[in-house]
Amino acid sequence: MKLDISKLSEDRELELSEEWDALAFDLNSPGWQYAGPLKVQIKAVKDSGIAKIKASVQAPLELMCSRCSKTFSHVLNETFDLVYALDLSDRVIEIDEGIREELLLNYPTKILCQENCKGLCLKCGADLNEEKCKCQTRT
Ligand SMILES: [Zn+2]
Ligand SMILES: [Zn+2]
């Protein structure tokens, strides 16, 4: 996504939107897969030598719980701010990488299907959210 500096103004937001293909932007990661395109929208204004950008990203996700391995759907809905110093020798600011980095930084380190997912039994592999396995009752 390219921001045309000449179109930036101080009092009117410049709006841009794009659809991203998660594969093309290399955004899938283990347990975190996109089930459709990412809707990326930005609003940009100029403010004494810098471009202030508000980005919002929405996308359908297919996640895998890191405890019980169940897959489930989720909708990504994130907004974040980006700031770029305006260099008058540039005509455009390329902001894809900035948005991509923000997205990757916000990936959770642990994906859980529910906050207190009990996970799988280490001995028999039973899903402890759904059943109490024999290994447990024996202890
Ligand atoms: Zn789980
Ligand atoms: Zn068990």
For 39-73, write each residue's pLDDT tens digit: 999 999 999 899 999 999 999 999 999 999 999 99
CA–CA separation, 101 and 16 (whole Å): 19
**Does the pLDDT of residue 88 top 80, yes or no?**
no
Q: What is the residue type of 73?
A: S
Residue 138 backbone dihedrals phi, psi, to 5 degrees:
-75, -25
**Does the pLDDT of residue 11 top 60, yes or no?**
yes
CA of 115 to the centre of ligand 2 (A): 21
| Domain that residue 58 falls in | 2-113
Q: Could you tell me if residue 72 is inside a domain?
A: yes
Under the banding of pLDDT at 50, 70 and 90, the label for residue 127 is very high
**CA neighbor of 98 nearest in space, from 134, 31, 33, 44:** 44
CA of 133 to the centre of ligand 2 (A): 5
Q: Could you tell me if residue 87 is inside a domain?
A: yes
Residue 55: both structure tokens together: 């980005």
Q: Could you tell me if residue 124 is inside a domain?
A: no
Q: Residues lining ligand 2 (ion), CB within 5 A?
A: 121, 123-124, 126, 133, 135
DSSP-derived pairing of the beta strands 2-4 and 92-94: antiparallel
CA of 131 to the centre of ligand 2 (A): 9
**Does the pLDDT of residue 139 top 90, yes or no?**
no
110 beta partners: none
